[in-house]
Amino acid sequence: MDAKLPPFDSYSAALQQPLVLGTAFVSVGVFVSWYALWHVQGWATTDKQRAYVLSLLSSLLTTLGSIPLVYEISMNGWNLESIIAERWWTVVLSTFFATFLFLDLAIGVAFYRKRIDPLTGWIHHTVYMFTLAWVLKNRLASLFITMCSLEAPTFLLALGSIDSKLRHDYTFAVFFVSTRIMFHAYMIFATYLCPSITIGTTVALCVFFPLHCYWFYGFIQQQIRLSKKRKENPVVKAEKREPVNFRAEVAVPPEFTSPSTRVAARLSMPRLSKDDQLRLRRRLADLTARPLLNHMPDRFRNSSIDHMVNRFAGSSNVAVPAY
């Protein structure tokens, strides 16, 4: 752990640290490569998904970075004096987060402009960038990364926005209340009591706290709307059906066991007596051939055609009647 050092004399001195400049340069490459990978692979196809690609990486790393600091506070009676000293890696993560804020706006203008909200986008990110400059100047990077536990709900939100299957509203609500409401409120109280932390830090935490309450109010309103919508349009559950056994054995009659018998069965007709056959042939002749012959011009009609029809009807000596 580095010893507690006095604040920098100016913002330029704080921002021109080799560690800050180097981290910013590397962070730009990391974020641009990360977004390009998602864009080229087609993993994020909608504006909503693209808007959370950078947030997914940033919130994951900053949340993980806050865990050892929160753990250290808890092991020291929740005394902020144990983590107030600046660490080099907290400076790196703070710069990494500041780079994310800038690139989220820069890349967003090109790829998901409609998803950049004036309040939660332009104003929020701009204010946070100036706040981080103030944090680096006053060597409060460790305290800031401790507060990055508030990024846990952002990580869950990013996951659910990129893949709806990973969206769990109540899990998000639990993390939001426990971090952005309860833990944030505690940190306001703890910084006020900590003698090594100026009142300006407490004021800064107080400024952001109402925004988190406003976001949670919006979340509650969203859940109320969704609940009403589900009640108005209930989903009808499909009736449970017995599974179909596609391998069930079917009893086949013996007469259909060979190809020859199957063909014979299809071609076989009921046996008729000779009288019935004669009546059927006469009926067919009366309904088809004879009406056609009666409408045939005389130049095409001859005795051979009449004789053929009569033979089919079984009455070769009967002339074709006129209809």
SS (H, E, C) the chain: CCCCCCCCCCHHHHHCCHHHHHHHHHHHHHHHHHHHHHHHHCCCCCHHHHHCHHHHHHHHHHHHHHHHHHHHHHHCCCCHHHCCCCCHHHHHHHHHHHHHHHHHHHHHHHHCHHHCCHHHHHHHHHHHHHHHHHHHHCCCHHHHHHHHHHHHHHHHHHHHHHCHHHCCHHHHHHHHHHHHHHHHHHHHHHHHHCCCCCHHHHHHHHHHHHHHHHHHHHHHHHHHHHHHHHHHCCCCCCCCCCCCCCCCCCCCCHHHCCHHHHHHHHHCCCCCCHHHHHHHHHHHHHHHHHHHHHCCCHHHCCHHHHHHHHHHHCCCCCCCCCC
pTM of the model: 0.70
Read off the pLDDT of each residue in 227-236 and give the average, rounded to a whole number. Answer: 77
pLDDT tier for residue 228 given thresholds of 50, 70 and 90: confident
Residue 173, pLDDT score: 94
Dump pLDDT digits (tens) for 17-43.
Answer: 999 999 999 999 999 999 999 999 999
Which of 148-157, 168-177, 267-276 bottoms out in mean pLDDT, i.e. has the lowest? 267-276
Read off the pLDDT of each residue in 78-101 and give the average, rounded to a whole number. Answer: 95
What are the structural domain ranges in the chain?
11-232, 274-323
Comparing 313 with 67, which gets the higher pLDDT? 67
Residue 322, pLDDT score: 42
